[in-house]
Structure 1
Amino acid sequence: MMSGILKKTVAFACLLIALLIPFSGAFAYTNYMTLPSENPNDGIGDPFVMKYNGTFYLYTSTGQNYTGFKCWSSTDAVNWTYAGLCSTEAITNDGYAPEVVYWNGTFYMYTSPRGAGHYVLTSSSPTGPFTLVTGNLGHSIDGSVFIDDNGSWTFYSAGGDGIHAAPMSSPTSIGSDVVLGGTQMGGQWTEGATVIKRNGTYHLTATGNHVLSPGYRVNAFSNTTGPRQPFTPSNNNPILLNSEGSQVGLGHNSIFIGPDLDTYYAVYHNLTSVSSGGLPVRKVNIDAIGWNGDKMAMYGPTNWSMPNPSLPNFEDRFQRASVGAGYSNLNGGTWGISNNFMYQSAKGSTAFYINYENTFTTASDYTAEYNMKEISKGTAGPKLGAVYGYVDASNYGVAILNGNLNRLETVTLVNGVWDTQVNTPLPAGFDITKLHTIRIEKSGTTYKYFVDKMLLETKITTRLGAGKVGYLSCDNEANFGYIAVSNKVNGSGIFDAYKPIPGTIQAVHYNSGGEGVGYHDLSGGNAGGKYIRNDNVDIRDNPEGGHNIGWNSTGEWYKYNVSVKASGTYNLGLRYATTYTGTQVRVWLDSTDVTGLVTLPSTGGWDNWRTYTIKGLNLTGGNHTLRVETVTGEFDFYTLQLNSADNSSFAKSDNFATSFSGDWNWSGGNWAIESGEASINNVGKRTLGSTGWSDYTVEADIKGIDGLNSGIMVRVQNPAQGGAGNDAGLGTDFYQGYLAVISPTQLSLGKQNYNWTTLASAAGTYNLNAWHHMKVVVAGNNIKVYVGDMVNPKIDYTDNSNPFITGKVGMRAHYAHTHFDNFSVTH
């Protein structure tokens, strides 16, 4: 029989083993998610996630005349426990988009009941009860708060002219709006803003245009000038969009850092149906965000089984009765466990009482999180803080909160010698008796110190490396909460995450593990000298944003973890540049060659970027490893875009004798059959075929009756209409693809990505009430457009700027009564 002491020791050792095991990918989640006790008639709309003391909390709109905001909690961001109603105040009836900010011991909730201004509620707990503390502060819907590194607050709200921003003089006072230039989405209503700051860049995401539209979508914007300055739209927009199938109407996201302390996630809703009363029924989703420099890359939307977000390499929630053998003490003190906090209660000495976790040592680069508050103070110089890089009693670092002097103090001890202490002021009114979070990021020789998400100090030093973590107390009684460490930093968590296919993968997000594991590089060092990775892979700046892998030479390769939605055929759009002729590449799925040898044409320059489509990759559904191999030659590459594909031969036609054929699968506008011809009066579009089609020839006869602004669409993805009533006019630009269009005086080719860009045009005369025969041929990135003369194209254009590589065909007219006939498509 074991003794009681031995039983406790074994039990605690098992606990530590559990705490130290990171997520292995054995568990999975699937979007969309149904949470316990969500409203049956509404689901979950406008989700917002915040983290407090190691636990995530999710809040959502009430909807459909309910009163009371619901709340859920989770430690892994996918398994949610219902925490009950966190507020039942009258103004929560039909409450929109509650967001919660923790500041100095108080939780502040911002919400707009029925869109009629904003109110602030407060609580001492993330699960409430939240009680009303202000009158109506005004401002449009979807209020969101951002706190900058200097402690200044900004309030964001929706608008028809873009996102609005207002300074806040306190958590309950909102100033006058300014419109943030650059944030309007396609000239339409823009809402659901959220702002984060990362590496000195402000990132804003917003949603447009209407929650009831399947084309509801998220765009990203950024600037380096300030939270209330104009923003620049990302060239990657939309970052979240899907308008067909079972997962449509994606939007109103918020952004949070996941359980691994490093990887960002977007939480958003999708539209599942519209109630009989015309209100949305929505569900919650989460997907990972990867960073390529300052470029935000959304790894989603997904709606198939994906591995759970990774957990930290070490975490402790102190859910036990004693500190246990997993911690070691330096300099004494009185340490214990109470109510899921570790405490230290001895006062009267200026010694640093330290308790550090003794079973886990960080990697050389890591992120650490600490939560703490002072209960009472002595008179000798009370302090509390975080310990990092602990090797022994003569070698460690500390990040200290000094309540008496209202500052953050950082200093390192190496070989028994302290370096110069750095002191950084904390915000005015900082209450050290309330729980605060210290976050430390170590990347190479750079240390970043955050307090309550504010970056207060950046230090360059070689004095410390890997080590252990712990807590420090000096001349006070203090409580210490959730502590965690992840051997990931500055976005490295995305490297081993499973990237979704279909989807686009950033080349620099290859697997970790180093030479021979995540990559094979034959040259020493990083010739480009860019990005955060410390490997020998050559990485350089890319003119399209972020970075790319460069100088890929014969025999080199890179691996990517991928999650393939379903077994089938896929086309790969490789974004690359090379001056070599005859460079050959090959792509493997696990140990299977899925492309054979592929020869890449020269792009004519190392910054002449092209997308080359490699067709017919047969991929097996599930989690796999993709490997990109350079067989001969040299090239740089930026992204891997993988789409479901149908490369088989086909021939489809419709002469509209009495009705539309069954091949037409999406329609917007008042289409009809008139005298054996397809007719659209005013605005509309219609699509046929498969989103997996790639190269084909489309032909149709087009006649303008009382106007002509009409033509053929190719490579169409995500068609939708706009507004609450799925209006064809409001959704006139709602699709992705190309349009060859004739007007009375010219022929134009344009690219539509929920906004229009003219690519090429040719003058011509196209009379009303006359038939004009149009042919469009798409092959690779080249599009040829013929009208009348079927031998000599009037437009011959190659799209080298992130081309669409697959999609359906269709017809479209814009404010013009138009007839179409003899429509055909062949491959």
Structure 2
Amino acid sequence: MKTMRWLFLLAVTFSLVASVPTETHAYQNPRSLPGEWEQYGLGDPYVMKFNGYYYLYVSTRDTDDGVKVWSSRDLVNWSYRGLAATDSITHGAYAPEVIYWNGRFYMYTSPAGKGHYVLSSSSPTGPFEVVTGNLGKTIDGNVFIDDDGSFSFFHAGQGRIDAAPMSSPTTIGTSSPTGIGMGGWTEGPTVFKRNGKYYMTYTGNHVFSKGYRVDYAVSTTGPRSDYVADSLNPALISTEGPTVGLGHNSVVIGPNLDTHYMIYHNFEGPGVIGPLRHLNMDRIVWNNDKMIVLGPTATPQPDPEMPAFYDYFDRTSIGSGWANVNGGHWGIYNQELMWQDSVGDTTWHKQISAAASASDYTAEFNMKEMKRGASASPRYGATFSYKDENNFGVAMLSSKNNRLATFFRINGVDQAWQTFDLPAGFDYSKWHHIRIEKSGSTFKFYVDGMMKGTRTANLGGGKIGVLTEDTHADFGFVAFSNDVNGSSAWDAYKPVPGKIEAVHYMKGGEGVAYHDTTANNIGGAYRNDAGDIRLGGEGLFNLGWNQTGEWYKYKVNVESSGYYDIDFRMATTMSGVQIRLWDGSADLTGIIDVPNTGDWDNWRTVSKKGVYLNAGQRELRVEFVKGEADFSRMTFHKNAGVTSISDDFNDGNDDGWTRFEGSWAVENGEYSSGSSTGPAKTTIGDANWTDYTVEADVKMIDSGGDGGVLVRVSNPSHGTERGQNNFDALQGYYAYLTTSGVNLGKMNYSWNFIKGSPQKYATDTWYHMKVVVKDTNIKVYVDDMDQPKIDYTDNSLNPFTHGKVGLRTAGKHTHFDNFKVYP
């Protein structure tokens, strides 16, 4: 029981986080933009943020010179800014990416894939001028700057991603493998850092393939090596439906300062010149170190949230949103920045926001030094958690000492200064960026994206501001958000169909977002409210100690009204546990029984089929009706009734089937995979089917390889087109025969052998196969229809519970007959 398990853990204090307003505006993938390349679109989109604005760069049409650029404040409304570069070297410029460093913008692109060039500009909109010769390397260069100011260059290799050290923004060293690839063509790397770990997203397959997709990998040791691909890959894929061929992404933090977004393109077919592609964007959420893309979506989604407070200084006077403390000479310049130009005294001249943050927050400040005074400590920067002159913190840049200096005053008592060195050669007359993340009593300090240090202080939320000491400084975009380290996921409207993490219940506290019978977070993990959270054995935070009568609410954005199937991820050592799902006062599911899983880390998928949901933004409530269970996540699928299909192929065709690899043909009333080399597959049915039985007669013609039945198939694609060599280009299960037995495997654009049963099967002999799938259980029968040769339940974190059916062979000429599928 909860009270017994509680004895082993420390209770922690909690704070309530206020709800944010409901989103009302929506964007929809895919998107066209004004000024895009005609009949070519918006391929390989890269988005960077500078001084509160986002800038978008895309690949150049193969017949043209120049790199186009757009700008936006919110990632939704984009203004075309023209050609950022016009040099002839940019003819057919592939995947241009831009970074900012120390006053200069550097563009990296590979024109027509013939090596990389670097261009530079003083503005993100250009003009960019070529500053290097051909530096070589294959396509899709990406630059990552680590916390110590060191640079790394990533690019496509032979079936992998390679990386090279950089001694400067324009000098690239020798490349070596990162250890990550998709086997076939791999491209489009993007590297970023979160909570001390390095994340790499990358794209596989050919750009014309519907199976173009995004995976991600994580390294804990450094940016260029020791990456491990995540077990939940692909991170983003869609091969059927309104958007297909998704890939070549960038990752950027959204306007609320907290949410990561994946920006990517879809494939819409061959244009007049090259592939036709357009812009897509979906929210990323986090559970522990797992990156989860809430997509792909192709229906209206809430626009990215803006910060709780922000100021672009796009006016002629400072205005009532700020209060002056300690004087100084302040003003607005060109409706784009705020300045203070008093030099010669060491007073901390401040401008303090009228708005105050919540207890936990993220704040952003942009600034540059115009003139430094002659005192011992001329500096300028940010103040935060400002309550009054006796309670605040500061983070200030010192050009004299080339460092970031931090300070706290708490209840009138000055705390010690703590300083952090900045890279040599920092030009303080150029724009720099300070970011502060506050969670509990911990403050993290970033300069130009580099995490420079952490401090603890007993300060709550408060106002933010800017200040100077014996310095003339300019201040650009300033903002704060009442979210930190991914907490914006809690109040985000998660798309349905899709996955929702149990710990991403909404904000609002007891009686609003949840009902919990204990005052504190028993597990002490992840959140500071009273929800009881622990880190489970699958590497995810989950809700624990859930008692009779407790509940949690989730914000969802239901694609359309209709019936859905829901998979709940549960664990319990108790019998008789029951849960239920509500929408307001409407009982959506009735009682759902949760079986005893035998251990608190023996996770099982508990399914409820045919649940009617109304379209739009809703708040769903998971209630624990009886007993105690831990809750990890829930997955929503569209529900589709299984339609019985029979095909004896006596009509001489395979109408209704979708062929992929191989040379499928109907021969004498039998369906033949033809080739005895490589893979071959064909599918039929609905990807939203769930429980069914499929039967087929199977005759192996060759002694090598295998042949059999596919179930729960989603996202199939052609795995060998355009020189690719992926035998496993689908998500689903494969029950198959060889001459030595019957076997079951799991395919997820990779191969995982599950279980086998040794048997003797002859060639040129018909065998009758039956596969029964119900919830996460799969039974495979051969000839004997009463006793399964394989009985397997997929208790993994990513079981496939929905999908169409199909036939497949690998390295074997096989015939099929008397195929049927039924509920």
With normalisation by structure 1, the TM-score equals 0.95
Classify 1:649/1:362 alpha carbon distance in 2 versus 1 (closer, same or farther; 3 Å). closer
Distance 2:169 2:41 in 1: 30
Kept in 1, the 8 Å contact 2:84–2:125? The answer is: yes
- Please tell me the residue identity of whatever aligns with 1:527: I
Q: CA deviation at 1:401?
A: 0.1
| Equivalent of residue 205 in structure 1, options 189, 193, 201 | 201
Kept in 1, the 8 Å contact 2:309–2:481? The answer is: yes
| Corresponding residue number in structure 2 for 1:296 | 291
| Corresponding residue number in structure 2 for 1:515 | 510
- Residue aligned with 1:246, SS: coil
- Please tell me the residue identity of whatever aligns with 2:109: T
Distance 1:421 1:169 in 2: 32
Kept in 2, the 8 Å contact 1:505–1:640? The answer is: yes
| Corresponding residue number in structure 1 for 2:809 | 813
Kept in 2, the 8 Å contact 1:221–1:232? The answer is: yes
Distance 1:258 1:22 in 2: 16
| Corresponding residue number in structure 1 for 2:708 | 711
| Equivalent of residue 97 in structure 2, options 73, 96, 99 | 99
- Please tell me the residue identity of whatever aligns with 2:252: F
Distance 1:157 1:429 in 2: 27
Distance 2:501 2:110 in 1: 38
Q: Could you give the per-residue CA deviations for residues 534-583 of structure 1, whole angstroms, max 9, x where no partner exists?
A: 11111111222221111111111111111111222111111110111111
| Corresponding residue number in structure 2 for 1:35 | 33
In the TM superposition, what are the counterparts of 1:71-82 in structure 2 within 5 Å?
A: 71-82=69-80
- Please tell me the residue identity of whatever aligns with 2:296: P
| Unpaired segments ≥5 residues, structure 2 | 1-17
**1:446 and 2:442 correspond:** yes
Classify 1:765/1:389 alpha carbon distance in 2 versus 1 (closer, same or farther; 3 Å). same
**1:752 and 2:750 correspond:** no
Q: CA deviation at 1:188?
A: 1.7
Q: CA deviation at 1:394?
A: 2.6
- Please tell me the residue identity of whatever aligns with 1:600: V
- Please tell me the residue identity of whatever aligns with 1:113: P
In the TM superposition, what are the counterparts of 1:213-228 in structure 2 within 5 Å?
A: 213-228=209-224
Distance 1:743 1:759 in 2: 15
Distance 1:819 1:569 in 2: 37
Q: Could you give the per-residue CA deviations for residues 197-247 of structure 1, whole angstroms, max 9, x where no partner exists?
A: 111111111110111110111111112111012111112111100001220
Q: Could you give the per-residue CA deviations for residues 160-182 of structure 1, whole angstroms, max 9, x where no partner exists?
A: 2421111100000111111112x
Q: CA deviation at 1:389?
A: 1.4
Kept in 2, the 8 Å contact 1:410–1:422? The answer is: yes
Q: Which deviates the most, 50-59 or 688-697?
A: 688-697
| Corresponding residue number in structure 1 for 2:3 | none
| Corresponding residue number in structure 1 for 2:662 | 669
**1:616 and 2:603 correspond:** no
Q: Could you give the per-residue CA deviations for residues 351-396 of structure 1, whole angstroms, max 9, x where no partner exists?
A: 1111111x21111111110000011122123211001111222322
Classify 1:402/1:723 alpha carbon distance in 2 versus 1 (closer, same or farther; 3 Å). farther
**1:632 and 2:629 correspond:** no
- Please tell me the residue identity of whatever aligns with 2:118: V
| Corresponding residue number in structure 1 for 2:300 | 305
In the TM superposition, what are the counterparts of 1:400-799 in structure 2 within 5 Å?
A: 400-462=396-458, 464-531=459-526, 533-646=527-640, 648=641, 650-660=643-653, 662-665=655-658, 667-682=660-675, 683-707=679-703, 708-722=705-719, 725=722, 730-799=725-794
| Corresponding residue number in structure 2 for 1:375 | 370
| Equivalent of residue 327 in structure 1, options 322, 326, 330 | 322
Q: CA deviation at 1:300?
A: 0.8
- Please tell me the residue identity of whatever aligns with 1:428: A
Distance 1:629 1:694 in 2: 25
Distance 1:526 1:676 in 2: 65
Classify 1:615/1:703 alpha carbon distance in 2 versus 1 (closer, same or farther; 3 Å). same
| Unpaired segments ≥5 residues, structure 1 | 1-19
Distance 1:660 1:566 in 2: 36
Classify 1:515/1:662 alpha carbon distance in 2 versus 1 (closer, same or farther; 3 Å). farther
- Residue aligned with 2:168, SS: coil
- Please tell me the residue identity of whatever aligns with 2:650: A
Distance 1:526 1:659 in 2: 65
In the TM superposition, what are the counterparts of 1:80-91 in structure 2 within 5 Å?
A: 80-91=78-89
Kept in 2, the 8 Å contact 1:703–1:772? The answer is: yes
| Corresponding residue number in structure 2 for 1:124 | 122
Distance 1:128 1:762 in 2: 64
- Residue aligned with 1:481, SS: strand
Q: Could you give the per-residue CA deviations for residues 298-338 of structure 1, whole angstroms, max 9, x where no partner exists?
A: 11111000010111000001011111232211211100000
| Corresponding residue number in structure 1 for 2:264 | 268
Kept in 2, the 8 Å contact 1:263–1:493? The answer is: yes
Q: CA deviation at 1:90?
A: 1.2
Distance 2:21 2:547 in 1: 34
| Corresponding residue number in structure 1 for 2:9 | none
Kept in 2, the 8 Å contact 1:613–1:805? The answer is: no
Distance 2:290 2:247 in 1: 19
Kept in 1, the 8 Å contact 2:408–2:457? The answer is: no
Q: CA deviation at 1:23?
A: 6.3
Kept in 2, the 8 Å contact 1:47–1:268? The answer is: yes
- Please tell me the residue identity of whatever aligns with 1:658: D
Kept in 2, the 8 Å contact 1:86–1:128? The answer is: yes
Q: Which deviates the most, 79-88 or 518-527?
A: 518-527
Kept in 2, the 8 Å contact 1:666–1:688? The answer is: no
In the TM superposition, what are the counterparts of 1:354-393 in structure 2 within 5 Å?
A: 354-357=350-353, 359-380=354-375, 381-393=377-389
With normalisation by structure 2, the TM-score equals 0.95
| Corresponding residue number in structure 1 for 2:345 | 349
Q: CA deviation at 1:637?
A: 1.2
Kept in 2, the 8 Å contact 1:119–1:136? The answer is: yes
Distance 1:706 1:563 in 2: 51
Q: Could you give the per-residue CA deviations for residues 33-58 of structure 1, whole angstroms, max 9, x where no partner exists?
A: 11111112111011011000100111
Distance 1:595 1:660 in 2: 43
Kept in 2, the 8 Å contact 1:153–1:168? The answer is: yes
Distance 1:561 1:325 in 2: 35
- Please tell me the residue identity of whatever aligns with 1:546: L
| Corresponding residue number in structure 2 for 1:280 | 275
Distance 1:218 1:310 in 2: 25
The total of aligned residue pairs comes to 799
- Residue aligned with 1:25, SS: coil
Distance 1:693 1:393 in 2: 63
- Please tell me the residue identity of whatever aligns with 1:825: V
Q: Could you give the per-residue CA deviations for residues 420-453 of structure 1, whole angstroms, max 9, x where no partner exists?
A: 0001111111111000000011110000010001
Kept in 2, the 8 Å contact 1:209–1:723? The answer is: no
